[in-house]
Amino acid sequence: MKAQKPSLPKGTRDFGPEVMTKRNFILDTIRATFQKYGFAPLETPSIEKLSVLTGKYGEEGDQLIFKILNSGDYVKDLTKDIDHLNDYHQKNASTKNLEDQEEIARIKNELKDYHKGLTPKISEKALRYDLTVPFARFVVMNRDKLAFPFKRYQIQPVWRGDRPQKGRYREFYQCDADVVGTDSLICEAEIILMINEALPNLGIEDFDLKINNRKVLTGIAQLIGEEDRITDICVAIDKLDKIGKDGVINELETKGLTQEAILKLDPFFSINGDIATKISQLRNIFAGVAPAGLAGLDEIEQVIKYVELISQQTNVEQNLRLDFDITLARGLSYYTGAIFEVKANNVQIGSISGGGRYDNLTGAFGMEGVSGVGFSFGVDRIYDVMEELKLFPTNTNASVQVMFTNFGEKEAAYVLPILHRFRDAGVSCEIYPDTAKFKKQFNYANRKNIPFVVVAGEQEMQEGKLALKTMETGEQALLEVDEVIAQVKSQQASLA
What does the pLDDT look like over 156-183, one tens digit per residue?
A: 999 999 888 777 789 999 999 999 999 9
- C-beta of residue 303 within 8 angstroms of C-beta of residue 212: no
Q: What is the mean pLDDT of residues 463-488?
A: 93
Between the alpha carbon of residue 445 and those of residues 422, 449, 468, 481, the distances in Å are: 17, 6, 13, 20
Using a pLDDT cut of 90, give the percent of the chain over it.
62
Strand order in the sheet with 429-431: 429-431, 402-404, 452-455, 466-470, 476-479
Which residues fall within 8 angstroms of residue 242, CB to CB, at 6 or more apart? none
Amino acid letter, 168: R
Tell me how far apart the alpha carbons of residues 268 and 264 are, in angstroms, rounded to a whole number: 9
Nearest 5°: the CA angle 361, 364, 368 is 65
Q: What ranges in 167-207 are assigned the alpha helix state H?
A: 186-201
Give the other-Cβ count within 10 Å of 327's Cβ. 19
Tell me phi and psi for residue 296, to 5 degrees. Answer: -65, -40
Mean per-residue pLDDT of the chain: 87
Which pLDDT band, with edges at 50, 70 and 90, does 4 fall under? Answer: confident
Q: What is the pLDDT of residue 42?
A: 98
Question: What does DSSP assign to residue 67?
Answer: E
- Indicate if the pLDDT at residue 447 is higher than 80: yes
Q: What is the pLDDT of residue 209?
A: 97
pTM: 0.83
- C-beta of residue 104 within 8 angstroms of C-beta of residue 91: no
Tell me how far apart the alpha carbons of residues 234 and 490 are, in angstroms, rounded to a whole number: 54
For 12, the 3-state DSSP assignment is coil
Amino acid letter, 98: L
Tell me how far apart the alpha carbons of residues 400 and 309 are, in angstroms, rounded to a whole number: 43
Q: What is the pLDDT of residue 296?
A: 97
Buried/exposed code over 27-58 (b: 16+ C-beta within 10 A; e: otherwise): bebbbebbeebebeebeeeeebebebbbebbe
Which pLDDT band, with edges at 50, 70 and 90, does 240 fall under? Answer: confident
- Indicate if the pLDDT at residue 103 is higher than 80: no
